[in-house]
Amino acid sequence: MSNTKIEFLYLNEPDMIRAGVTNMAECVETMSDMLQLFAAGDYRMAGAENNSHGAMLFFPETSPFAGMPLDGPDRRFMAMPAYLGGEYQMAGCKWYGSNVENKQHGLPRSILMFTLNDKDTGAPLAHMSANLLSAYRTGAIPGVGAKYLALQDASTVGIIGPGPMNRTSLESFVAVRPGIKHVKVAGRSQDGVDRFISWGQSKFPEITFEQVRDAEEATRGSDIVSIAVPSPSGSENYPFVASDWVKPGAFICCSAHLRLDEELIQRSRHVADARKIYQAWAEELPSPAHETVGIWGMHLVDRVRDGRMDADQFEDIGEIIAGDKPGRQSEDEIFVYSVGGMPVEDVAWATKVYRNAIRDGIGTKLTLWEEPALS
């Protein structure tokens, strides 16, 4: 008689830390592997073309119904399902609610959970705290770009936007370019800059941290420039980088909104974590898509669509990892790298952390049922 009992592993945030969720070097390697699988097509995400970011629940500006939440900055719920093949062979879904007002209560803006499922039965294998999971997989994608595209002897990083996204991005840069010695930080608030520098000095005592006045000072002379400044829709609101600020050989990583001058666009090679996600996203938006979603990959989709750029000039990091396209070809080559985020990243890193937890006996086993009441 078959065994119908289903158990799954519950991993709270301390469990996730013990299982290695903050191991950035391992996360970068995992994301490199995942991006190669993505480029080869061994994945599935939501939507008819399997490339959707997920399904988002928005709220109205006003409502006649008592208790219904109203629209506000980052006020939403979202489900992000995916399947990843290769050595992972897992399905999963990240679910989260987001509300800027959470910060008034000492909570993160978004509170995330992730469920990992058996790819065949659909049974839950793990239910885990996902704020750190999401933060580290997001930060590791810039590290993958730096690993394959930044100068080998990169020593200076310019940080534009000293928030959590650039914290994990810097961790990933240091993991792949250990010669980093100097970090310049520009931000919109003194408190944000101070907190970033305090964190950085504690995390990387061997690195010198310096506050600079603005994006221009952060960019000039930097081998790696990391831009993560969330902004309202409309390109006039996006952070701007001019060509004459950028040194030959620089690697520019944009994890949020960005605007570049035409000279820099023409000087640079443009690489994305995954072209398909921007193309799928743009199908859901009015044209030009970059005016609504300011991530650099959306601008590249617009340029290809209106003929200002050939499709093969919009490159995919997975193709470079696989050797199908060349990486850096000269010391002076400039790269602009777009990071958008995908649920397959969560599946990959959740699988690694789950397997670590099983190996090391971490977490709490919970029973779904001994046998199903309905079958």
Strands 110-118 and 76-84: unpaired
Give the pLDDT score at 174.
Answer: 98
Residues 246 and 363 in one domain: no
Distance of CA 340 to the CA centre of its chain: 6
Q: Are residues 78 and 66 in the same domain?
A: yes
pLDDT at residue 73, as a whole number: 81
Asked if 316 and 275 touch (Cβ cutoff 8 Å), the reply is yes
Q: Which of 141, 45, 155 is nearest to 92 (CA)?
A: 45
| Terminal alpha carbon distance of the chain | 15
Residue 231's pLDDT is what? 86
Q: How far apart are CA 213 and CA 107, in angstroms?
A: 30
Total structural domains within the chain: 2
Q: Tell me the one-letter amino acid at 76.
A: R
Checking phi first, is residue 221 left (phi over 0); if not, alpha (psi -120 to 50) or beta? left
For residue 329, the enclosing domain spans 140-342
* Inside any domain, residue 38: yes
Q: Are residues 42 and 98 in the same domain?
A: yes
Q: Using an 8 Å Cβ cutoff, are 154 and 221 in contact?
A: no
Region of 55 (left: φ > 0; alpha: ψ -120 to 50; beta: rest) is beta
Distances, alpha carbon 55 to alpha carbons 80, 255, 284, in Å = 7, 21, 12
**1 within a domain of the structure (yes/no):** no
pLDDT of residue 1: 54
Give the DSSP H/E element, type plus range, for residue 185: strand 182-186
Two structure tokens written together for 114? 């992730």
Residue 374 lies in a domain: no
Residues 80 and 148 in one domain: no
Question: Same domain for 77 and 96?
Answer: yes
Assess if residue 297 is contained within a domain: yes
Q: Report the distance separating Cα 269 and Cα 246, nearest Å.
A: 13
Query: What CATH number does the domain containing 64 carry?
Result: 3.30.1780.10
Of the candidates 183, 171, 268, the residue with the CA atom closest to the CA atom of residue 217: 183
The one-letter code for the residue type at 40 is A
Residues 188 and 310 in one domain: yes
Question: Per residue of the chain (375 residues), what is the pLDDT tens digit?
Answer: 578 999 999 999 999 999 999 999 999 999 999 999 999 999 999 988 898 888 999 999 999 999 999 998 888 899 999 999 999 999 999 999 999 899 899 999 899 999 999 999 999 999 999 999 999 999 999 999 999 999 999 999 999 999 999 999 999 999 999 999 999 999 999 999 999 999 999 999 999 999 999 999 999 999 999 999 988 889 999 999 999 999 999 999 999 899 999 999 999 999 999 998 899 888 888 999 999 999 999 999 999 999 999 998 999 999 999 999 999 999 999 999 999 989 999 999 999 999 999 999 999 999 999 999 998
- Indicate if 206 and 106 belong to the same structural domain: no
Residue 44 exposed, middle or buried by CB count within 10 Å (0-12, 13-18, 19+): middle
Structure-block tokens of residue 274: 């995954």
Report helix, strand or coil for 106: coil
Residue 239 located in a structural domain: yes
375 is a domain residue: no
- Give the integer Cα–Cα distance in Å for 265 and 348: 32
Looking at the fold, whether 191 and 336 belong to one and the same domain comes out as yes
180 and 121 housed in the same domain: no
Residues 162 and 90 in one domain: no
Q: What angle do CA 172, 173, 176 make, to 5 degrees?
A: 85
Mark whether 157 and 245 lie in a shared domain: yes
Interatomic CA distance for residues 375 and 373, integer angstroms: 7
Q: How many residues are there in the chain?
A: 375
Is 277 in the same domain as 172? yes
Paired sense of beta strands 43-45 and 76-84, if any: antiparallel
Q: What is the pLDDT of residue 333?
A: 98
State the CATH number of the domain containing residue 197.
3.40.50.720
